[in-house]
Chains A and B, each alone.
Chain A
Amino acid sequence: MRYVEQEKVIKRMNGRLVVNTIFKGLFMAATLLALLALVVLLYRIITQGASHLSLDFLMNFASRFPEKAGIKAALIGSLWLMAVVAPTSIILGVGSAIYLEEYAKQNKLTTFIRLNISNLAGVPSVVFGLLGLTIFVRAFSLGNSILAAGFTMSLLILPVIIVASQEAIRSVPKELRDASLGMGATKWQTVVNIILPAAIPGILTGSILALSRAIGETAPLIVIGIPVIIQFLPRGVFDTFTALPIQIFDWASRPQQEFQVVAAAGIIILMIFLLIMNSIAVIIRNKFQKRY
């Protein structure tokens, strides 16, 4: 008596193969749909905005007249913002991650902190904007300066950087730590010489992706009250400024048809900005990647 009857198995075979093919098709359709949406979006923006792209667009300040409107203040403003956000968030984030992974004792308090850092990564950016408004803009009287906006953005992306850095540090094999500590190295020497070099690709990739999120965020800047039309460049971190997403948001919400073109051109600039940052992340990952 055999339980598996070859005849029946063969008979059922066709049905199984058909189901397999159907699901393959469904999954492919899902991928194609996403790709299609992306392509349409890119196509519309590029065809719409390309005509307005020129050196003048990069060199002009914002204007009431669409043909004169430029993105200079926003572009430089976004660069200033990054100059504040990158060091603040990376130093704080990597420092916290090192503390949590290497120094902190495993107890209920640290488990609670870890859990909540992950939760913070999911808090809407508007909430961080309100926090920044209360603390940096008002309590610290920083006004709507680059520093206030930079600190707010740093808070926003800090959880992401901490979690990414923790993951990177945790993926360094325990054997390497043991080897270093077993030779009488201090924790700090082990962190600097062994753990950070091995974790740096992961840390940098995570940080750069978090920074590109900060570049594209609009809500916190609106809540803080960053102005849109600015006819000067900031000379320091205490000056006010405007940033790419805010500028684009303003142009896109104007009634005149011509400003839609200007907004599309702004989006192209923002996308190039993001593309450059993501490419840097990929390059770093490929360059430093080590296998164990």
Chain B
Amino acid sequence: MAELVAKGEEPEILFWVGCAGSFDERAQKITRDICKILQHVGIKFAVLGTEESCTGDPAKRAGNEFLFQMQAMTNIQILDGYNISKIVTGCPHCFNTIKNEYPGLGGNYEVIHHSQLIQQLIDEGKLKAEGGESFKGKKITFHDPCYLGRGNNVYEAPRAALEILDAELVEMKRCKSNGLCCGAGGAQMFKEPEKGIKDINIERIDEVLDLNPNIVAAGCPFCMTMLSDGIKNYNKEDEVKVLDIAEITVRANGL
């Protein structure tokens, strides 16, 4: 972003990468794929790079409102400093926090999740599923991230990205507003689960495996981790792939 400003240019959209997208090896790949999509359709975008910091979501969900607001207000200062008006995030948690919780602290932006960006591009005819890997005959199911689905009523956008593939889409019984959490939300990602009889991601993966899909699609880096761990738990990495909506789009278009 700083480089763009130095050149006296303004981006159409800011890509908010998020902590997972910046540091988690698996999520880094998704980050690069989101960039590929943006480049492919010729949208001029920027990232904050080292100026980006945690939105404060895990702090807020863990009950530390001080730390959340410190993070939020610092981020808002930076975003406002660059005159940002439109943001796309690679993570439903960043999406929810910036979209819903920043306005009350003075940060007002148009915020979309990358699945919504992909949906818009498909609707505008700028993005298709051609020139890349064929998904014909593949069975795909989508796992709704809580903060995208129930949290913000975004159910159709990620599905739109799958519908343009020539694949067989199947829904789990617990989908959309009845979707089952992967187990990572509410700062659970960063702690061991409480004592119980089963891990939540295993409960979810059991449901995934019941459908016997080739691909389980995700839209959140934390769901990605939880689902991948669940698949590994059953040693099914070769049969069932966990792929982000952005990765599927990139593959389908051979980007």
Real complex partners, A and B? no
Interface residues of A (CB under 8 A from B): none
Interface residues of B (CB under 8 A from A): none
